[in-house]
Every structure is written in structure tokens, then in C-alpha cells.
Homo-oligomer: A and B are copies of this chain.
Amino acid sequence: MLDYLTMSEDLGELAGSYRNILRQAVYLLRSMDAEGELSTGHVSTLNMLAAGPLRVSAIARFAGIRVPSATEQVIKLEAAGLVERKPDSTDARAVLVELTGDGRKALDVANTRRTAEVAAALATLSTEERLAVRNAIPAIDKLNAALRT
């Protein structure tokens, strides 16, 4: 009863549905941007740095962008006082990007608001629907990782 999903036709249908969801995500993220707060891209970058300093190349890799684009983001965040660049003592070519206190504060504000917005939307779902979403998260993570390659 379960293996009908292995038929290519149903895989295609599911793939189409998933493509729809991916497409929507772009707009949803944009709609979550608020005036005078961090943009989606900046939130992503700062969230990576929350666990500790990263090289510019690591930021680029995790964000799925090229190194020059990451450099530019870092320059903007630095100008806003949200991150600092420090030399890497183990490699004089590298630069370590680190959150400042202000950066951590701004990130907290943005994360809190954005997560609350998603939580409010989740609250409109039934318990079963929320459970379905929750149960799918690991599979979606795996699926996204497979798509990334």
C-alpha cells in the first residue's frame, strides 16, 4: 500500500507539489521583511555567526553564494556595526567574521519577530496538520540536502 510512491508518475506529482512550495517560499521570506529591521539575507548570515566566528568562504558556502557576494554582505554588516573582521591567527590570508554585541541584539530581535510570525501561522493549523508538518521536517531537510548537490 505504500510502495505506489515509488512509481515514477507519483514521484513526478509529488515533485510538482514540492516545487510549488519552494516557489512560494521566496515570496514568504520577502513578506517577512519589516521596515527598519534586518533583511532576510542578513538574518541568515548573522544566524550562521551566532554559533561562532566564520571565514568569508565558509559564509559563502553555507549561504550558497559566491565569495565576492559574501564579502559584500560582510562589508555591509560591518558598516552597520553588527559584525567585526578579525585576522585568523592560523592563516594570514583568511578573515574571521564575528558577531558584535549589537549584532547579537539585532539578530535576537529579528529572530523573535520572524519566529513569532511563523508560530502564529502554525497556530491556525489543526493539531494533526501541525503534526504532519513536524513529522516531515527531517525528510524535507534530507530532500533539500539532496537537491543542493
Contact = CB atoms under 8 A, between A and B. Distances in A.
Contacts of A116: 12, 15
A125 interface: yes
B119 A15 contact: yes
Given A64-B27, A115-B19, A118-B19, A133 B140 contact: yes
Interface in A1-25: 2-3, 5-6, 8, 11-12, 14-25
Tell me what chain A mostly uses at the interface: helix, strand, loop, or mixed: helix
B129 A27 contact: no
Interface residues of A, number: 63
Interface of A: 2-3, 5-6, 8, 11-12, 14-32, 40, 44, 63-64, 114-125, 127-144, 146-148
A80 to B, nearest CB: 20
